Structures are given as C-alpha cells and as structure tokens.
C-alpha cells in the first residue's frame, strides 16, 4: 500500500468504541438529558431487550458490572452518543474500530 492509496486521516475519519471495562455509573446520562436522539436510543434498546437500560446506567445499580447487563448498557450508550454526534455535529467517519464489545 502506498501513500497515494491511503490518504492521511483527519480526526473525523475514525471512531473507536471502547469495550467492556469502560463502563461507569452515570454513563450517557448527560447525553440522555440533553438530546432527543440519545433518549430514543436508550428507549429503543430498553424496549428491544426488556430491561430499563437507564436505570442500570444512571443509578448505583450493581448489574452494570455483570456482563449480561454491562454489554447492552455499554452498547446502548455508545450508539446514543454516536447518533447525537452524527445528527447534531455532523460526525461522519469513514472507518470504525472497537475494543472487545466496542
């Protein structure tokens, strides 16, 4: 591969999502409170899997550190933030990466 076939990337070209282990209580709550797109993502995920993702993410709920709950919570938060950044700020990456679940 030469430099001519692989142009330098700008900051907006790549998004990397973190994986399990990056979860924390309150994650995504600021986006949820401020942006309708984030609220919609949390609602969509909660409806799809039948648990209240907000309750687990935004309160001191020990399930956040249990894999079967951690992963849908983390994925929901990542999707919510990405949707907000795309809709509100025009983020349009060309490449995606992730660690573990991310």
In the chain, where the domains are located: 32-90
Q: 73 near 53, Cβ under 8 Å? A: yes
Neighbouring CB atoms inside 10 A of 55's CB total 13
Q: Measure the CA–CA gap between 100 and 28, rounded to whole angstroms.
A: 19
Q: Supply the pTM of this predicted model.
A: 0.82
The H or E element that residue 38 is part of is helix 36-49
| pLDDT tens, per residue, the chain with 102 residues | 444 545 555 556 788 888 888 899 999 999 999 999 999 999 999 999 999 999 999 999 999 999 999 999 999 999 999 999 999 888 888 888 887 765
Q: Measure the CA–CA gap between 8 and 2, rounded to whole angstroms.
A: 11
Task: Return the DSSP state at 93.
Answer: -
């Amino acid at each position: 591969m030469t430099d001519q076939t692989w142009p330098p990337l700008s900051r907006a070209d790549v998004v990397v999502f973190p994986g399990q282990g990056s979860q924390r209580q309150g994650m995504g709550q600021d986006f949820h409170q401020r942006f309708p797109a984030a609220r919609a993502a949390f609602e969509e995920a909660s409806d799809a899997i039948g648990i209240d993702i907000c309750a687990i993410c935004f309160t001191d709920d020990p399930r956040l550190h249990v894999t079967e709950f951690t992963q849908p919570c983390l994925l929901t938060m990542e999707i919510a933030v990405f949707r907000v950044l795309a809709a509100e700020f025009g983020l349009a990456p060309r490449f995606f990466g992730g660690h573990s679940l991310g």
